Amino acid sequence: MVRWQPGTSERLQAAALELFASNGYEQTTAAEIAQSVGLTERTFFRHFSDKREVLFRGQELLVEAFLGGMTTAPGDAAPMELVAGALESAADLFPAERRDHSRLRQSVIDQNPALQERERHKMSVLAATLGDALRARGVAEPAATLAAESATTVFGVAFTQWISPGETRPMVEIERAMLAELRDLTAVGPGNGPAAKA
């Protein structure tokens, strides 16, 4: 008899998403998830530090993608050029085939405040990591933090649009549009509005 199979975490993740989607997040216990793939509750918590975490594995890949997209930029690139590179790289993780999976996962998250909190936290960690990378490349404060936070904001808005009903454009295209929108938006402000735009 097979005592354990490879990919335990992955099987737990898949089972959890299914159960959460059909029965609701709070109505699904960690023990149920574990049992549905032939494991014990104790094993579930050895793989995931808490119940929410089972939905958020894979975020490390997102962080790596963002960082990877920065390293390929030229040495004298401006902060927002680094951000643009990071966003382009991150878009690779969101091919068309993954759209429906992302939609299902997001629908679960949207229905539970605790999961929304965890999602925000992960984005926050991503922003902090990006800030570190920007500072390591010589970007000063507060520009590094502002650029990093703007990157996650643009990513978040773009992702929301990417999974919205009827949307068919690839992620990278949506990201570029959002980034351009942010630039236009901030260019128009106090003492610098449309009237002063000459």
Partner DNA sequence: GTCTATAGTGCGATAGAC
Partner DNA sequence: GTCTATCGCACTATAGAC
Binding residue for DNA (CB under 7 A) from 29, 36, 59, 106? 29
Q: Residue 91 touches which of its own copies, DNA, none (CB < 5 to 8 A by kind)?
A: none
Q: At what angle do helices 171-187 and 79-91 cross, to 10 degrees?
A: 160
Q: Which single residue is written with the structure tokens 């500072």? A: 135
Nearer to its own copies, 101 or 120 (CB): 120
Task: Output DSSP code: residue 140.
Answer: P
For position 50 contacting DNA by CB under 7 A, the verdict is yes
Q: Which two tokens stand for residue 43?
A: 């094993």
Using CB under 8 A as the criterion, what x/- string covers residues 74-113 for binding its own copies?
A: x-xxxxxx-xx----------------------------x
> Alpha-carbon distance 194 to 3, whole Å?
68
Nearest alpha-carbon partner for 51 in 59, 41, 61: 41
User: For residue 157, how many other CB atoms are within 10 A of its CB?
Assistant: 17
Residue 25 Cβ, how far from its own copies at the closest point, in Å? 16
C-alpha triplet 57, 59, 65: angle, nearest 5°: 140
CA 39, 41, 42, 48 torsion-angle sign: positive
Binding residue for its own copies (CB under 8 A) from 24, 38, 58, 142? 142
Binding residue for its own copies (CB under 8 A) from 21, 99, 132, 156? 156
Residue 127 Cβ, how far from DNA at the closest point, in Å? 23
For position 166 contacting its own copies by CB under 8 A, the verdict is no
59: which residues sit within 8 A by CB, 6+ positions away? 122, 125, 126
Nearest alpha-carbon partner for 122 in 40, 38, 190, 66: 66
Size of residue set near DNA by CB under 7 A: 23
Residue 37 Cβ, how far from DNA at the closest point, in Å? 9
Binding site for its own copies (CB under 8 A): 74, 76-81, 83-84, 113, 116-118, 120-121, 123-124, 142-143, 145-147, 149-150, 153-154, 156-157, 161, 178-179, 181-183, 185-190, 192-196
Binding site for DNA (CB under 7 A): 1-4, 8, 28-31, 34, 38-43, 45-47, 49-52
